[in-house]
Chains A and B, each alone.
Chain A
Amino acid sequence: MKKITVEICTGTTCHVMGSEAIMEIRNMLSERYKESVEIKATSCLGFCRERQAGEAPFVKVNGRIVPEASLLKVTQMIDEIERGN
């Protein structure tokens, strides 16, 4: 199974806009992902400063940006990468 890295931004903007709630993804992933998905809290990814990549909170899944991230959007991105897209 592919290794998937989820980086959750803990910069102030992302934090205020609710990035901490996405940490709960640990408990919501299906069993088959438990081994292959690594979840990390990172310092500011800088996307909010650029103001072009969309809106906070930001999460990076294997380098792909998920703007306005929610549990749903991040889970969908993991599924997409797993399917090889």
Chain B
Amino acid sequence: MLSDNNASKIIKKLLVETARLCFEGRLEEGIDRLVIDTIPKKSNANRCCVHKDRAVIKYRLMAILGHSAEEEEDELKRLSEYAGQTLQREEISEPVLTVIDEACSACPAGRHFVTNVCRGCVARPCMVNCPKDAIQIHNGRAEIDEDKCVNCGICLKVCPYNAIVEIPVPCENACPVGAISKDESGKEQIDYSKCIFCGRCMTACPFGAIMERSQIIDVARKLAEGRKVAALTAPSAAGQFPCEFSQLKGAILKAGFSEVLEVAEGADITAKKEAGEFEEKISEGQKFMTSSCCPVYKEAAKKHIPELCEFISDTPTPMEFAGRKAKEKYPGCTAVFIGPCIAKRQEALEGRSIDHVLTCEELGAILVAKDIFVRETEPAETPGQASIEARKFGASGGVTEAVKANLSGNIQIKPELIDGLDNKNIKKLADICTGKTNFNFVEVMNCKGGCVGGPGNLSTPARAAKRIEKTFEP
């Protein structure tokens, strides 16, 4: 998530405070007060008044406790009751996202607008070129008749002063599959039959109206109870803190996790199997195979490009293999995947080997709540071993390199990389199913730069990739 952004800062603060209450054993007692402590009576309101701000904070805390804002039936139900439910629950339910309609500003639908940069020139290319006769000049300035305008954008392109702007709805604009749209009241809602859990709407919304349903309390509670909880760190997580990876492992253990297992160990199994599968399928005449580790991509294929599904590798993901390994090595443990990804929450719900998913941001909140300072923590090493290629799985191109390293040499790999799943790349993926291709392996990463570009990260993709590189240089 964008770090220097007030909406995300508020959420991070709330994550820390909620986790702190849980570790202190005062969650139910303190959670309602957290709303007023966050927005005191005399603070400057972000919205119309402190009361509206407080209402939004309440829904944010519901999401942090793992609930949906949409599930609220009784507005008088207190956060302490929701917290009580969270402390009892053993099962996580769908969906993984929630839209806080109290926070949604119901942004006016995308339209074109003439700014006061307009000089009412003589040429008037906007007026002359408008195919709908929607532009008139009033008081020396162009005006758009909204009833006639069809948002074709011609006026914007032809204006020599850049005086016409298109006002987007940020979440709708960011969604590559048209899964978020307005209801009859103008507030946004997610259509889960289309949603691919990429998280773009969440990071794009300037009001922070879309949130993840966190599992931070489910994990914090189990840590506080001293249960056996294994942390499974995604390859990209290694670069998210300003310290050595071994120190981060030490910090995770200090926070109360009983084990740390690198998901890269699972990535080694994935790469090996995927390489074998690739050689088999290509030699059988399949024209190409795609990677399978990105859950957003698989969701996009399932819901929007069904013809692509037969080309996706059947090999389970590194998270799945790492989860199985954890359950085998540490019987009875709770397996917690820690990474940058929202869609992994969905993948975990559909599988059986992972109990909880935390983002790196949420791990950070747990460390802060426990007053653990990673740079001052004793380094720890984990018993497992992962290859360098597997540890680089989380940066674009990493999957291809890892598969390459596992090939037997019978088939020549001609790789293609889809780095970022935007509308254009979704169309490209649909096209390659039917057309001729000059490649036989496609690595698809929903996030630009790979998992290091994920929405639940703390560091920029470049910094994270550099740290990973530095940590695992031979």
Q: Known contacts A18-B4, A20-B458, A20-B460; decide if A13 and B242 are in contact (CB<8 Å).
A: no
Q: Which of A41, A49, A70 is B4 in contact with, Cβ under 8 Å? A: A70
A39-60: contact bitstring with B at CB < 8 Å (1 yes, 0 no)? 0010110000100000100000
Interface size on A, residues (CB 8 A): 18
| Inter-chain contact B371/A20, CB cutoff 8 Å | no
| Inter-chain contact B375/A41, CB cutoff 8 Å | no
| Inter-chain contact A15/B376, CB cutoff 8 Å | no
For residue A17, which residues in chain B have a CB less than 8 angstroms away from its CB?
A: 3, 9, 12-13
Q: Known contacts A12-B373, A15-B242, A71-B4; decide if A20 and B364 are in contact (CB<8 Å).
A: no
Q: Known contacts A20-B458, A20-B460; decide if A12 and B364 are in contact (CB<8 Å).
A: yes
Q: Known contacts A15-B241, A20-B458, A21-B3; decide if A10 and B16 are in contact (CB<8 Å).
A: no
| Inter-chain contact B376/A18, CB cutoff 8 Å | no
Q: Which of A10, A15, A49, A70 is B364 in contact with, Cβ under 8 Å? A: A15
Q: Is B365 an interface residue (CB 8 A)?
A: yes
A-B Cβ contacts below 8 A, count:
55
| Inter-chain contact A44/B373, CB cutoff 8 Å | yes
Q: Is B260 an interface residue (CB 8 A)?
A: no
For residue B463, which residues in chain A have a CB less than 8 angstroms away from its CB?
A: 20
Q: Known contacts A20-B3, A44-B376; decide if A15 and B458 are in contact (CB<8 Å).
A: yes
Q: Is B236 an interface residue (CB 8 A)?
A: no
A77 to chain B, nearest CB (A): 16
For residue B367, which residues in chain A have a CB less than 8 angstroms away from its CB?
A: 12, 16
B362-385: contact bitstring with A at CB < 8 Å (1 yes, 0 no)? 001101100111111000000000
Interface band, chain B: 20 to 34
B426 to chain A, nearest CB (A): 30
A71 to chain B, nearest CB (A): 7
For residue B374, which residues in chain A have a CB less than 8 angstroms away from its CB?
A: 12, 15
Q: Is B98 an interface residue (CB 8 A)?
A: no
For residue B375, which residues in chain A have a CB less than 8 angstroms away from its CB?
A: 10-12, 43-44
B345-375: contact bitstring with A at CB < 8 Å (1 yes, 0 no)? 0000000000000000100110110011111
Q: Known contacts A12-B241, A12-B368, A16-B16; decide if A43 and B376 are in contact (CB<8 Å).
A: yes
For residue A10, which residues in chain B have a CB less than 8 angstroms away from its CB?
A: 242, 375
In the assembled complex, the Cα of A10 lies from the Cα of B361 at a distance in Å of 15
Q: Which of B251, B371, B458, B460 is A16 in contact with, Cβ under 8 Å? A: B458
Nearest 7 Cβ contacts at the A-B interface: A18-B3, A16-B364, A21-B4, A21-B3, A10-B242, A13-B368, A43-B375
Excluding A12-B373, A17-B13, 11 further A-B contacts by CB distance (< 8 Å) are: A12-B241, A12-B367, A13-B368, A15-B364, A16-B361, A16-B368, A16-B458, A20-B458, A21-B3, A49-B371, A71-B4
CB-defined A-B contacts under 8 Å, sample of 5: A11-B373, A12-B374, A15-B242, A16-B364, A22-B4
